[in-house]
Structure 1
Amino acid sequence: MYKKFQISKSPQMNLVWGFFLYTILGWWLLSIPLFHKQDISFIDNLFISTSAISTTGLVTISVYDSYTFFGQFIVLVLIQLGGIGYMTLTTYYILFTTKKLTHWHSKIMVAEFTLPSSIRINDFIKSVVVFTIVMELLGAVGFYFAYVQEGMGNTQAIWFAVFHSVSSFCTAGFALFNTGFEGFQGNIWINVIVSILAISGSLGFIVITDLWYRFAGKSKEISFTTRIIVLGFIILLSFGTLIVYSTETLVHNNPDVALMTSFFQAMTAMTTVGFNTISTGELSLPILLFVIFLMYIGASPSGTAGGMKITTLTAMFAVLKSRLFGQKKITFMNRLIPFERIYVSTSTFMLYTSLIFLTTFLLTYSEHFPFEHILFEVASALGTVGLSTGITGELTLVGKLLIIMLMFIGRVGVLTFGFALLKRRFNSEMPLMQDDLAV
């Protein structure tokens, strides 16, 4: 009966339903008193479950102080499931055992991961699982030695290393330290490990698969999508680091690592990893607004990062450029962008921006925090970032429910959620042009 229910629904509805079931299951497991160190309300358990499955990292309570090891392990499993996707592990198992995908599984995966036509779904799934395992193992090893050098005991170092490696690669932003990574602002190795893992995950599995194709000789050149993602990421990250370094006086409190701190702050917002080495609530207003912009954009599609995506920004920029220059065709870097992609990008932009405005408007009624803090919290939730100015734990019940809704929508995608809500069947099998821009 459940299988018939799945098949009867659109791919988008299947994605929403799948993530919803994972969230409810996580909520139920986290509500078991055996996994608690202290009393936890039902709304806080739901908040943590949604935040973990959406790889956001916003928390209303301390994960380390509130949950036992088994509770923390449940959070870790939810992060992993949310990071690599609803159907990825199941689909990989089917590929490993049968060497082929069913038509239904293919439709779900294409709906969850927007791919350029040059990448096959089978190769993509394999690269997602293999790359995730390799990076998280390497990250755990790196974290372990870094924590041991900081004086942490072996048992605790192993668990903290595994947890933070998965959280970093999945850009989840969950930390077992109550102040994030503020205590490691000057630790070069931990800053480097977090940055490598977060950038690797946020650049997206499209880039990894495409690079693998190129070096394995399966393609002669890197796809247009990959070039757009990498170029846009480098430009925005470099610009973000420069802005924070030149404007924010807080990072210069420790002049020896000011540049590294500036880079980390820009990186954590753009990759939506959500870790911080300085107190976000103490940032100046100009930098808070700029960080909101970086969280709003996000990184790559088909990766672990959230946000509106670089490719959507690129498509919007191409529309603006073509309009200003009076061009009939919409191009970027001498490549024609099909109208199908423009429609998707425009819809994403409008829905994403509307959700931020509407939720911010509603929260100004239910909460009594400064406007910029509310806007920051909303952008962080919808972008699945996890950075906060410190107001998350003090939200009202209405505020928490609104943020829970935003985190969930941010994970499944605003357009996917819209299709599912309106019960429309998106033609996920629409052929894409070679070197088409995956948005």
Structure 2
Amino acid sequence: MSENTSNMFKILPIFIFISFLSLTLSAQNGNAPYSRLGIGQLAESGSLYNIGMGGLGVSNGSQAYINLINPALLTRNTLTAYEAAANAEYKIISSNNASERNSTGNLSYLAFAFPLTRHWTLGVGLKPFSNVNYIDRFEQKIPQRPSFIEYSYEGTGGVNQAFISSGFLLTKGLSVGIQANYNFGAINTASISRIIDNQLSYAVALYEQTNFGDLSYKTGIAYRVRVGKETSLNFGAVYDLEANLAVKKFRSAQRRDASGQIFSSDTISRDLRGSVLLPAKYGFGISLQRPFKYTVGIDLTFQDWSSFTGLILRDTLQSSQKITVGGEITPNIASIGSYLARITYRAGVTHTILPYLLNGNSLNETSISLGFSLPVNRGLSSINMAFIGGQRGVAGENTLKETFFRVHLGLTVNDQSWFYRRKIR
């Protein structure tokens, strides 16, 4: 048994624990008011390698980590790699005259990549695509009566992606990639009216479940130019194709008691079929990189959500734009005397014009990311962490501000290829 394989088995229990934690946390929910719009709040698309740099990853890849943003950069993975990660979030939601605090946990991703040949690497995995979780309540007094009606709008669920991706090295420095995603999951919504008085409290609800199950595709290209003995200038681009996802809807009228339990339900429609149109997404990046030493770069992404159709009125969404600046540094990966010198340190800043359009106004999000990779042996396996703090929206009469702090924890296990042996370069 090789030293790398022996080390892999030593940390495999940690990998299994994080995988279990990821799946457990995915069932927990907080409150994300803006997830009421579109297909929900979009999840971070990268691995912890990317997330620690603010999501930087269109042009920069690594032999030590799986890049989940550009499939063309899978060709950098010359070892078999396993990754799992989970996240937890603490959030303060505030308006002009009120605020609330909540927390949540979720799956970040599960991923596996391995080279089939010297020029072809395959990746598979599971990650969330969007999350829906909101509760909006208000009361109105019934005229000439001491009673009130409470109106509430609730939503839960989201869309997940199981994916398979391939990266191909065409010529020295030039690679292309393609990724197929199977989008699945359900979004559950309910519009509830509840009469509240001293004698009784009951509610009627219009419940709707939208089930997803369809394919979408992503392509990527990456080009690397040597600008020094060990330094390269990297260029990358990704394109998520427009996707028309098939959905199946179920609607029912319900009566609920004071605790929210359903005691009668009448089906309005069953297996009502339709589709949700997801707009195309473009991303471009450039980075300067010296492997296992430093990376610095910038990414730009664009997605026109005004063409979205399927769940809400078209005019509530707009074009989304995102800019990310980030980088990483490893002082000395081969250091024997200093463990701190072997740690990889990451940071990034991201500014996003969100697709949400409320009262004719755009909403922005700004965040700062810090990340670390802690080596667990003399190979390329590591425990990875990322910390993100940011703000979404503004506090107003009809708008909300979300101040959030998010922690990601994950593990990367690298082992020699199953199919051939190749030196790390």
TM range (shorter): under 0.3
> Of Structure 1 and Structure 2, which has the larger fraction of its residues in strand?
2
> Of Structure 1 and Structure 2, which has the larger fraction of its residues in helix?
1
Greater RCO structure (CA 8 Å; 6+ sep): 1
TM-score using structure 1 length? 0.24
TM-score using structure 2 length? 0.24
